[in-house]
Amino acid sequence: MIIITRPDITDAELDHIRERIEAVGLHTHLSRGEKRTIIGCIGDESLLQELPLRSIPGVENVLAVLKPYKLASREFSVNRSIVRVGASAAIGGQELVVIAGPCSVENRGMLRETADAVRGSGARILRGGAFKPRSSPYSFQGLGREALALLADVRAEYGLPVVTEVLDTRDVDLVAEHADMLQVGARNMQNYALLSELGRVQRPVLLKRGLSATISELLMAAEYIMAHGNRQVVLCERGIRTFERATRNTLDVSAIPVLQRETHLPVIVDPSHAGGDAALVAPLAFAAIAAGADGLIVEVHPSPEDALSDGDQSLDIPAFDALMQRLPAFAAAAGRALTLDGTTALAGAAVA
């Protein structure tokens, strides 16, 4: 932490600032410039986190030297993390992983049809919403427990691990019983009660970036889960909110290389929510892989115009298959692999 003092600081104020810092166990180091004196704080910067340094008289500005995340940081783990999902999928390795499925689980038939199709096209994990965070209380809220049971059945039938969103701390154990991976939605990225609870289960978590969360805040949300005991976190860039309204959100494709520099955790991209438009899914998916993403999560519905949620941005089955056919070339250009046949990413792992 570096403290920049006001030009008119008094010696007494300077001494007081130093005392406050030294009282929590750091050393201070003065550097007197022509216009400002700068106080360097040497030691464990996290000890200063609780100190409202800007409110101390004489302080003009406070600049952080270190990043606030630890377990999530690149310095914590030299190797990139690989997060295994179910028996057959692993995110973060050389092989890219595509997660696909309907926004909401609507009934058994559509879920089976979608699972069968996306597996055939090369998806490795099935997505499907049971509890839906809808902006209107009058909209379809998901089938809840019934959907969880359907997901578990279809998982067994097709051998695809499943990921589904959890909205409520009270549902974490229930969802963890039925799903291989638990999703935190964008609107809950800073729901700290939920993040803490997810730190206590041993299930991989798919953590979506909040609509206006900085990359640093996304990593701090991951840090919450990790600090509470669960290190299996996959980050998901899904578009941020900007002034532009031609698309539902603005895919922050730069976040992919920035995250790879800052963290060892895998990073996937959701091109469906980013663009909010089925016609944009393919170009955004290509861009994500080109920029180095470890995978994708794509909304697929057998009949988007009949979907109970997110139909506007869902691909139908042929469109998803067409997308998948084009991905391996982008993966190869990016120095990665994407295998479309039934061979799994995990050497020797068997798909049921």
Nearest approach in angstroms of CB 66 to its own copies is 6
Nearest approach in angstroms of CB 165 to its own copies is 11
The site map against its own copies for 52-71 (x = CB under 8 A) is xxxxx------x-xx-x---
Q: How far is CA 139 from the centre of its chain?
A: 25
Helix crossing, 278-290 with 317-333: angle to 10°?
A: 20
**Token couple for 323:** 């997308």
Nearest approach in angstroms of CB 204 to its own copies is 19
Query: Of the ranges 84-92, 111-119, 254-262, 342-350, which one interacts with its own copies (CB under 8 A)?
Result: 254-262
59: left (phi over 0), alpha (psi -120 to 50) or beta: beta
Query: Of the ranges 85-93, 108-116, 148-156, 271-279, which one interacts with its own copies (CB under 8 A)?
Result: 271-279
* 8 Å CB contact between 163 and 183: yes
Query: Of the ranges 78-86, 110-118, 182-190, 338-346, which one interacts with its own copies (CB under 8 A)?
Result: 182-190
Neighbours of 187 (CB within 10 A): 13
Nearest approach in angstroms of CB 88 to its own copies is 27
Q: Does 138 bind its own copies (CB under 8 A)?
A: yes
Q: Which of residues 98-117 bind its own copies (CB under 8 A)?
A: none
Residues 6+ apart with CB under 8 A from 52: none
* 8 Å CB contact between 3 and 38: yes
Please report where in the chains the tokens 């994500």 appear, as a residue. Answer: 288
Can you tell me which of 12, 156, 322, 329 binds its own copies, judged by CB under 8 A?
329
Query: Of the ranges 35-43, 77-85, 112-120, 154-162, which one interacts with its own copies (CB under 8 A)?
Result: 35-43
Can you tell me which of 112, 149, 241, 340 binds its own copies, judged by CB under 8 A?
241
Query: Of the ranges 85-93, 118-126, 152-160, 243-251, which one interacts with its own copies (CB under 8 A)?
Result: 243-251
Can you tell me which of 99, 163, 215, 317 binds its own copies, judged by CB under 8 A?
215
**Token couple for 91:** 């995110």
Q: Rounded to 5 degrees, what are φ and ψ at 185?
A: -75, 165
Q: Does 144 bind its own copies (CB under 8 A)?
A: no
* 8 Å CB contact between 310 and 185: no
Residues 6+ apart with CB under 8 A from 116: 158
